[in-house]
Structures are given as structure tokens and as C-alpha cells.
Amino acid sequence: MASRHDPEGLRLKIFAISAALYAGLGLVWGGLYLILGLELAAVVPLSYAVIVAVTLPWVRRAFAVSRLVILACWLVLPFLLQSVLGGFVPGSAAVLWGLAAPIGALMFSSRREATLWFSAFCFLIALAWWLDPRLTPAETPSGTAVTAFFALNLAGISVAVYLLLRLFLRRLEQARAALRLEQERSDALLRNMLPDAIADRLKAGERVIADRLAEISVVFVDVAGFTALSERLAPEDVVVLLDRLFTAFDDLTEAMGLEKIRTIGDAYMVVAGAPDRRDDHVAAAADLALAMLRATGELVAGGGEPIDLRVGIDTGPVVAGVIGRKKYAYDVWGDVVNTASRMESHGVPGRIQATSRAAERLRATHRLEPRGLIEVKGKGPMRTYFVLDRIE
């Protein structure tokens, strides 16, 4: 059975149902013609039922060929039936059944192909009109039978077209449902990679996203002694440890409204104040760092070894934007990023080291401990501070 989110399977199913529906009507019409003694006319609808019985088992394997055979039957056989019966009036306008071919092509192929089938249908109508005075019916049905078949043909083609359109609309609704599901999945994936505000800008059609931000805060976190620790642990234990650690960090970052930028090995980078501006970005960065230290205190590595973090914080201007086309990434660039990374790498395990400019912004909200001047690679002497806790 076709899945509700499988448009191709649904199309094959609806095609088979449509072909079988017409085959059933062909059996009814063939039976009626036999009852009326119109054996030659009965051959046409009955032959269609036979063709369907032979073709349907091959629908899934050779859909293009099966579709062509069935649509050709829908188009040509009504014209043949009307010709056998002697024209429009004796044949009760049986050629109208050929309208199913362009409708079927619209459902099961393309609009371009449907246009070709409709053109062929119009050609057959014109050909039937041209042949009409030249035809001599091999078998002449009674006037009552002609009138009855007029009514049956009009009712039959109306019901058949109505059912085909219903099936078409059902297929369309299923396709739309599948499309909505894929859009939701794509949107969830995009928002998993990018901040919501940036994802919305991309979806709105913005091609290049680049912003100059006057001031944000950057937090770098690293596991102290991770290289030596990873050499002592089994590979699966290393992966499990980092997964538990970074999952906890992800939860904290999301809960506090900050933005994770990336992880590199055992390093974790977060920004506060981007892409959405916030005035308390420095305090928020420090609060996150403190929460990370507390969360890490509850984790131990294999063998019960405690895990220590080094954390660095800096604040300042950056350029932020999205890079990549196949795999999007939101990133920030600027001296503040490099300096925050240096605060982490030159830090002390179990402590949060901040630059003097970050510390100035934290004095009103957090207790600080001066570390003094330290030599920072690529930066020279820098005065730094340890963030102890929040002022209650």
C-alpha cells in the first residue's frame, strides 16, 4: 500500500485504480452491447478490459509504458467504438470517453504531455465529425438503445471524470502534505544549524548575510588535559564523555538565550549578543560560564577522574555572517574571538578568565579576582581577571 507521504507510490496506486475503474465500465458496456446483439461493438470495450488485465501487473516495473498503453486505449477505443456503431448519433457520442486521456495525462504525467493528448482528442473529434456522414453502421441499434446509451455515456463520462478529478485532488493533497513535511524537516534542520533570526532571513531570500556588531561577548571552553585523558580512555568512552558534556552545554546555552557557534575537538565556543542584540551580553556570558563549571562538576571521566574546564571571556566588536552554500554555518570574526580563545588557552583549570575590558563590564554583577599581568601569545602582556560568582 502506498504511504501517505510517498507521492510516487500514491500516483501508481491511483493510476491502477483509474485503469481498473474504466475496465469495469468496459465490462458493463460490453455486456450491454452483447445483450443488444451488437457483438462487434462489444469487442471494443471488452478488449480494453483484457488489455488492462495484461498491463496492470507491469505498472510498477514499467510505468511509462503502461501509462502510454492505457492512455492510448482511453483515447482511441472510444473513437473506434463510435465508428463501429456508425457515427455520433448511432454511437451515442462514445468518442467523448476519449476525454479521459488528457485528464489522465494531467494526473499521471505532465501538463505538456496532457496538452499533446488533448490535442489528439480534439483531432479525433474533428476526424469523427468528418467521417460521420461517410460511416455505415455494421449493426444498427434501436432508437431507444441509442437514447439510452446517450444517457449512459454522458452519465458514465461525467462520473468517470469526477472520480478521476477526486483522485487527482487526493493525490495533490497527499503531495502537499509530503511537501509540508519535507519543508518542516528542512526548516528544523536549518534552525538546528543556524539561529532562528538568521534562518528566517535566509528563508526570506537574503543571499548574503553579513552584520557588523558593535559589541558582543565570546566564551571559549576547553577540557583541561583532554589530550592525555583521551589517550587513557577507550575511543567510545571519549565520544560518550564529549557527548554528555556538550549536550549539557547545549542545554544551558539554549536555556540562557545564547548562541553556540561551533565545537572543535573538545573546545566549545558561544557568543552572547549575536545575532540578537542584548545589553547584558557580558553578564550573560559570565553566567553561562559559571553554569558550565557547575555542570561539569557533576561529570567524571572513565575511571572516576574529575573533569576540569578552562574558560575564557572577552567582549568587543565583531563581524558576523553565514558562510557556505551546501552546509550553512553562522560564525563571527574579529579580535575579540582570538582574544577570548587566548583567555581560555592561557587560563587555569577550573576557572574563568576574562579580559580587563570584560571585567569592567562585570564589576556590577559579578565578583572578580585580579590575576595581574600575564604574557599572552600574539598579544603581549595583558591584565586579566578571574570570574568567581554572581553578586547576589
pLDDT tens profile 329-355: 888 999 999 999 999 999 999 999 999
Rounded to a whole number of angstroms, the CA Rg of the chain reads 37
Residue 316 CA to residue 215 CA, distance in Å, equals 5
Judged against a pLDDT cut of 80, whether residue 201 lies above it is answered with no
pLDDT of residue 119: 94
Instruction: Kindly report whether the global pTM for this prediction surpasses the value 0.75.
Output: no
Residue 233 CA to residue 238 CA, distance in Å, equals 6
pLDDT of residue 204: 75
Q: Is the dihedral of CA 107, 110, 115, 121 positive or negative?
A: negative
* Contacts for 342 with CB less than 8 Å, ≥ 6 apart: 312, 376, 377, 378, 379
pLDDT of residue 169: 78
Which of 135-139, 304-308, 351-355 shows the lowest per-residue confidence on average (mean pLDDT)? 135-139
| pLDDT band, residue 300 (cuts 50/70/90) | low
> What CATH number was assigned to the domain covering residues 197-390?
3.30.70.1230
Q: Cα 367 to the chain's mean position, in Å?
A: 48
Residue 109 CA to residue 101 CA, distance in Å, equals 11
93: left (phi over 0), alpha (psi -120 to 50) or beta: left
For the chain, the average pLDDT equals 85
Judged against a pLDDT cut of 80, whether residue 389 lies above it is answered with yes
Q: Where are the beta strands (DSSP E) in 242-283?
A: 259-264, 267-272
| pLDDT band, residue 4 (cuts 50/70/90) | very low
Residue 28 dihedral angles phi and psi, to the nearest 5°? -65, -50
Do 245 and 367 touch, CB atoms closer than 8 A? no
Most confident range, picked from 126-140, 289-303, 377-391: 377-391
Which of 138-152, 179-193, 198-212, 289-303 shows the lowest per-residue confidence on average (mean pLDDT)? 138-152
pLDDT of residue 6: 55
Do 371 and 386 touch, CB atoms closer than 8 A? yes
Average pLDDT of 299-312? 77
Average pLDDT of 109-113? 86
Do 272 and 319 touch, CB atoms closer than 8 A? no
Do 349 and 380 touch, CB atoms closer than 8 A? no
Residue 57 CA to residue 78 CA, distance in Å, equals 24
pLDDT of residue 302: 58
Long-range Cβ contacts of 103-106 (<8 Å, 24+ apart): 103/161, 103/164, 103/165, 103/168, 104/15, 104/18, 104/67, 104/70, 104/71, 104/74, 104/164, 105/71, 106/168
Average pLDDT of 54-70? 87
pLDDT of residue 63: 87
